[in-house]
Chain A
Amino acid sequence: MTLKRRALFIFSLLQIVWLAGCTEKSFTPIEREKSFVASLNIQEPSLDFIDEKGEVMANWLFEKAYSGAVLIGADHVLLYGNQLSSIDLYDLTTGQKRFTKKVDIGTTNVCYSEATHQFFIANSKTNTVTSFDEEGNELASQQLGNYPMSMAATKDKLYVINYKDTKLSVLNMDDLAVEQEWPITKSSHGIAIIEETNELWIGGHGEGSKPNSTVKRYDLLSGEQLGVIEMPLMPIGLMKADDEILVVSHGRNELYVADFSGTVKWHLQVGANPFVVNKFKDLIVVAGYDDHTLYFIKDGKVQKAVDVGKGSFQLLVREE
């Protein structure tokens, strides 16, 4: 009798779990034609979608400890975490998960190439970069230096900074074959590729407790160091805009705007401990990690400050 009852209880419990599993959590959908800048916040993982007026369109609150996100095409967002053993792809228009893919723990960064419709996962545990197609099928993998993290893709090349190493790896996007290795300083972070001048700029934190305060310029093809641009402490957020390079220095809370020749056009103190900068239509957006605020800058002035979740760490931009 009791055995029967217990069996019934367990069955009901399983039923509930199964039913609960069925109703996959879905988030507020983002209309296909809307432009947005999304802030990925990592202290309490969430995504805040904000339109050009500075209005919050949606807030996706996650239970998983995501540490990064990347847009895959125009309608998908891929979420990953350094301590997570899977990546999740969400549909923006439905707000629902499209697929989950098992990966090794240690994902540091994911880069998407629009040209080849591939995304690349850098892993700090296995020290590899692996390429996938948009459906999450693994294509190729390559062993790199210690702690690959910062990545940038242009044409058929993928540039990968080995964060705890002294080299930058240039890979062929097709088979991920290492084509070049450039000597760089340790703790480098942040890449901007300027095709117009055939240059690649990288920033960095600096080694040990000694902070770095320069952005280094390299020849995109040969890897030759062309020069050094003095910047405030720890420039790590680099972004190429139409005719300028945006740099944020999180040690001095400064946004520097330089032309392609490396001349600083103007600068502005903005945010608290900002790690990233991005261009959203005619606005420059800076995310303050410590003050949980996005700053919308136009004509060298802060137009609007928008509160976001704690620990704003990445900015995703979709322009329609």
Chain B
Amino acid sequence: MKKIATRIWLLIFTFLMITIVFMYVLTDYLYEQLYVEDTASTMIEVGTKLQTKYVDGPVTDELITDIETYNDYSNLNIFAVRNPRELSACVPFDIDYETLIGPEERKQLLAGKSVQKIGYEPRFDRQLISVVLPLVDQNRLEGIIYIYFPLAKISELASQEVVLLFVSAFVFLLVMSFFVYKGIHHIMRPLNQLQIAVEHMSQGNYETRVLVSSSDEIGKLSSAFNEMAEAIQREDEARKAFLATVSHELRTPISYVKGYSEAIQNGFIAKDQQAETIQLIVREANRMERLTNELLQLARMENEQKEIVLYPIPLAETLREVEQILTHQAQKRGISLQLTVDEALIVEADEVKLKQVFINIIENAINYSYGQSTVEISAVEKDGFAYITVVDFGIGIPQEDLPHVTERFYRVNKARSRSDGGSGLGLSIVEQLLKQLQAKIVIESELEKGTKVSITMPLMEE
């Protein structure tokens, strides 16, 4: 399996190679084009000047000599030809030798035009660029001026330099590849660290963090990883704490039940006290049952993925039913329930869940009220929502505990624990239910004075 860094490096290396080859080919091509063009124009220029030496009639020996002399001092190869055999003059006849110019070129020359040729010339046995200029007198091709220059390849011209060129290209490629390799590794280092961190995480080391050293994509990924790791760690701790709490909560009633029943079994408890002891066992068993029920409920709610169906419910009626259920419980503690409700309010909700919410909240209010006090329940319309408040006059909740009261097993008074009968799950359940009912809860409280719970929930749409 190749690493990304290797792949990127290979890609860049390939591009480098392609670029070098392309540049070489392009340079060669451009050089040849410019070289050929330049040479051809020089040849035409020289040829046209030499052409002016010819006036008319047959090409003289003097002109041939003149051009030969010029050839001696020129870097171009120039000569004049007047042999009509070489000029394809005998073309209609079957000729058995290679002429310097062909019949088509002869036509062009007869018309007074120069001929330009690039390519292999058998007469000279090499690649040439040549220009042929006519010496014409009244439609007679008296002779030609033939100018040629060997078409040297760039490699032929620079046969020494070509080795240097290839070596330097190779060295350049090596150096560039090395730096690109280093560069990619530098860029990829945080990614490697991130990969190692992820491996650590998957092994359960949730305290793993990576160093965020840049603000680029990898930097953002690193900080996102850190946030994720923190969240996972928090969740893991919460899970552990929850498990500890659950086992602790269950162990207490179990030890009661176990202790009392063993005592009865071993006859440590007198007959007359046995009924009382059994009542204690029953109470603890009830507590266990309620605890497990509520845990089950919470777990079920968290698993409920799909949205529940909401339907119109007359709020006043629901509240009155809840009042009825709890009146007995309140009376036992000498607390009166006072219900003030707008009869016209119809909310969008699920009746069972809504009742559960009110029962939990009002039970809490009853449980934590001072004796002989009142729990005030009211429901009005406010800003297009149903606004329900439950106010008690009791011990209240300290400000620092307020944000945590909906957490599972969170108790304001840790020592108070089971004496007040609460499991510590009531408000957690309320919060979950209200989320399903699309309602919001606000808890305000003042220590030793009382608590006000406000619920805002959507009314039926007209």
Contacts and interface: CB of A to CB of B under 8 A. Distances in A.
Nearest to B84: A251
Q: Which 5 A-B pairs have the closest CB atoms?
A: A291-B139, A251-B84, A272-B139, A272-B140, A209-B85
A45 interface: no
B90 interface: yes
B83 A289 contact: no
B304 interface: no
Q: Which of the listed residues B86, B97, B139 has the most CB atoms from chain A within 10 Å of its own CB?
A: B139
Interface in B6-28: none
17 contacts: A42-B92, A205-B93, A208-B96, A208-B97, A209-B83, A209-B85, A209-B97, A210-B85, A234-B85, A252-B58, A272-B140, A273-B141, A275-B92, A288-B139, A290-B140, A290-B141, A313-B92
Contacts of A290: 110, 139-141
A206 B92 CA distance: 15
Contacts of A288: 139
B89 A234 contact: yes
A216 B157 CA distance: 54
A80 interface: no
Contacts of B92: 42, 67, 275, 289, 311, 313
Contacts of A251: 83-85, 89
B85 A147 contact: no
A261 to B, nearest CB: 27
Contacts of B110: 272, 290
Given A290-B110, A290-B140, A250 B94 contact: no
B96 A164 contact: yes
A211 interface: yes
B203 interface: no
B94 A211 contact: no
B52 to A, nearest CB: 22
Contacts of B58: 252
Interface in A270-319: 272-273, 275, 288-291, 293, 311, 313
A291 B99 CA distance: 21
Interface of A: 42, 67, 124, 147, 163-164, 189, 205-206, 208-211, 233-234, 250-253, 272-273, 275, 288-291, 293, 311, 313
Interface in B88-104: 89-90, 92-94, 96-97, 99
Interface in B75-91: 83-86, 89-90
Interface SS, A side: loop
A211 B138 contact: no
A205 B92 CA distance: 12
Interface string B102-122: 000000001000000000000
Range of interface residues on chain B?
10 to 19
A234 B138 CA distance: 20
B85 A211 contact: yes
Contacts of A211: 83-85
Given A206-B85, A210-B85, A290-B110, A273 B94 contact: no
Contacts of B89: 234, 250-251, 273
A275 to B, nearest CB: 7
B84 A272 contact: no
A288 B110 CA distance: 13
Contacts of A293: 139
B90 A205 contact: yes
A272 B83 CA distance: 15
Nearest to A252: B58
A290 B92 CA distance: 11
B122 to A, nearest CB: 13
A272 B112 CA distance: 14
B86 A272 contact: no
B94 A124 contact: yes
Interface string B128-149: 0000000000111100000000
Interface in B298-351: none
B84 to A, nearest CB: 4
A312 to B, nearest CB: 10
B189 to A, nearest CB: 78
A163 B97 CA distance: 14
A273 B86 contact: no
A124 B96 CA distance: 14
A206 B86 CA distance: 12
A211 B85 CA distance: 7
B94 A163 contact: yes
A311 B186 CA distance: 80
Nearest to A311: B92
Given A209-B85, A211-B83, A272 B138 contact: yes
A30 to B, nearest CB: 25
A291 B136 CA distance: 12
B97 A273 contact: no
Contacts of B86: 209
B97 A234 contact: no
Nearest to B92: A313
A211 B94 CA distance: 15
A205 B139 contact: no
A23 B100 CA distance: 47
Contacts of A147: 94
A275 B93 CA distance: 10
A205 B85 contact: yes
Nearest to B103: A43
A272 B106 CA distance: 12
Q: Which of the listed residues A234, A252, A272, A311 has the most CB atoms from chain B within 10 Å of its own CB?
A: A272
Contacts of B84: 211, 233-234, 250-252, 273
B344 to A, nearest CB: 88
Interface string B168-185: 000000000000000000
Contacts of A124: 94
Nearest to A233: B84
Given A288-B139, A313-B92, 9 more contacts: A164-B94, A206-B85, A209-B83, A209-B85, A209-B99, A234-B84, A252-B58, A289-B92, A290-B110
